[in-house]
Amino acid sequence: MSEEIRIKSHRGIYSAVFDQNAIVNLNNNPDPDAVYLIDTNISNIYNNELDDLLKNCRVLLIDAKEENKSLNKLPDYINELVNVHQIRRGQALIAVGGGITQDITCFLASTLMRGLPWYFYPTTLLAQADSCIGSKSSINSGEIKNILGTFTPPDKVIIDVQFLSTLESRDIHSGIGEMIKVHAINSPESFDRISKSYDEIIKDKDIMEKFIYESLLMKKKLIEIDEFDQGPRNVMNYGHSFGHAIESATNFAIPHGVAVTIGMDVANYIAFRLGISEMSHYERMHSVMNKNYRDFVSIKIDIDKMLNALTKDKKNTASHLRLILPDKEGKIKIVLQDNNAEFKSVLNDYFERVYA
């Protein structure tokens, strides 16, 4: 696909391009001045394809685990970049991996020597269809997830869907969860379009590429008007308050985008039961949500733990939960909801009657 997406940011315009030869080009024409931060799984799986790059360039391998995306690991990365690889001002950091590799690279690029250029080759579906644009970096501190961060857009994003052929099915479903989300936010019609193509997307990489492109265009509209997440961009958290609560209640056994899918289904159910939306919207969206999370329904979700995590969500006010729910037209909106007995009983109903 030859389309390029150009995104306006506080640092100027950057672009996301699609290139099914990127793996070959990465190996044949590396930037000799850059340091490559590469996911260890990518360097193992693509050892042959990235042979020259791995042998001849300065490489920092990242084991893509949440505990490695944390404040106490930063001194190791800084030591390797500065003392071992002797990085200099103006030299680029180039990330090749998923959201974890992205967050580490983006955070280092925004702080090391007060700022280095950075480039991104996303290798997971979640990173290609969602996180690669939008400027955010997030680092964990101890048990507190994503509490440190910056807004630092990359200089360029290069998307090669060939990387997705080796991705595990759980990570495909995780990425599709975020794609469904941005389509639902864009309009009920966009949601219905991606729902109809659900099976083809998984089977055909060109159709997948087209929907990644569409998802990024939809996200672009929001981040260009609200790069710093002060208002309109907040709707991108659809499914996320419940999703984060589910991740935390299950000890992260459910991948992020799948937990978000369950979270959107919960949000739609609650919205219709509380009279905020119509049953028809919940039903219209339920079958594809269920398809995307059904491999994980055997993982038990403890509702008390979930409620506990939900009330701690930093987006809430003192007495209300700040939720993102569909309205009667199926438009995704921010709603303040009383954290009362009715809310709890509807949430219980969802898990007892619907979630299976």
Ligand X SMILES: NC(=O)c1ccc[n+]([C@@H]2O[C@H](COP(=O)([O-])OP(=O)(O)OC[C@H]3O[C@@H](n4cnc5c(N)ncnc54)[C@H](O)[C@@H]3O)[C@@H](O)[C@H]2O)c1
List contacts with ligand X (CB under 6 A): 39, 41-42, 45, 64, 66, 69, 97-103, 123-124, 126-127, 131, 134, 136-138, 146, 163, 166-167, 171, 174, 256
Task: Find the shortest distance in angstroms from Cβ 343 to ligand X.
Answer: 27
Query: Quick one: 15 or 146, whose CB is closer to ligand X?
Result: 146
Smaller CB distance to ligand X: residue 168 or 206? 168
How near is the Cβ of 186 to ligand X at its closest, in Å?
A: 18
Helix (H/G/I), strand (E/B), else coil: 300: coil
Query: How deeply is 65 buried, as exposed, middle or buried, from its count of CB atoms within 10 A (0-12, 13-18, 19+)?
Result: exposed
| Residue whose CB is less far from ligand X, 160 or 265 | 160
Measure the CA–CA gap between 209 and 148, rounded to whole angstroms.
32
Q: Strand 93-97 vs strand 144-151: parallel, antiparallel, or unpaired? A: unpaired
CB of 322 to ligand X, least distance (A): 19
Q: Which is nearer to ligand X, 90 or 142 (CB)?
A: 142
- Rounded CA-CA distance 212/194 in Å is 11
Please tell me what DSSP assigns to residue 114.
G
Which CB sits closer to ligand X, 124 or 268?
124
By beta-carbon proximity to ligand X, the closer residue of 61 and 274 is 61
Cβ–Cβ under 8 Å, residues 205 and 167? no
Least CB distance to ligand X at residue 321 (A)? 22
> Minimal distance in Å, beta carbon 78 to ligand X?
20
The DSSP element (H or E) to which 66 belongs, if any, is none
Identify whether the C-beta of residue 56 lies closer than 8 Å to the C-beta of residue 33: no
Q: Are 116 and 93 in contact (CB under 8 A)?
A: yes
Give the residue with the Cβ less far from ligand X, 98 or 326.
98
Minimum distance, C-beta of residue 123 to ligand X, in the bound complex (Å):
4
Q: Nearest residue by C-beta to ligand X?
A: 99
Phi, psi of 335 (to 5 degrees): -130, 135
For residue 211 the two structure tokens come to 């929907």
Nearest-approach distance from CB 145 to ligand X, in angstroms: 7
Q: Tell me if 163 sits within 8 A of 123, measured CB to CB.
A: yes
- Least Cβ distance, residue 127 to ligand X (angstroms): 4
Q: Using alpha carbons, select from 256, 100, 103 the residue that is nearest to residue 171.
A: 256
Give me the least distance between CB of 31 and ligand X, in Å please.
21
The CB-side HSE value for 326 (13 A sphere, CA atoms) comes to: 32
Tell me whether residue 45 or residue 274 sits nearer to ligand X (CB atom). 45
The two structure tokens encoding residue 254: 């459910």
> φ and ψ at 32, to 5 degrees?
-65, -20
CA distance 171 to 92: 28
Residue 28 burial by Cβ neighbours in a 10 Å radius (0-12, 13-18, 19+): exposed
CB closer to ligand X out of 116 and 176? 176
- Contact indicator for 286, 326 with CB cutoff of 8 Å: no
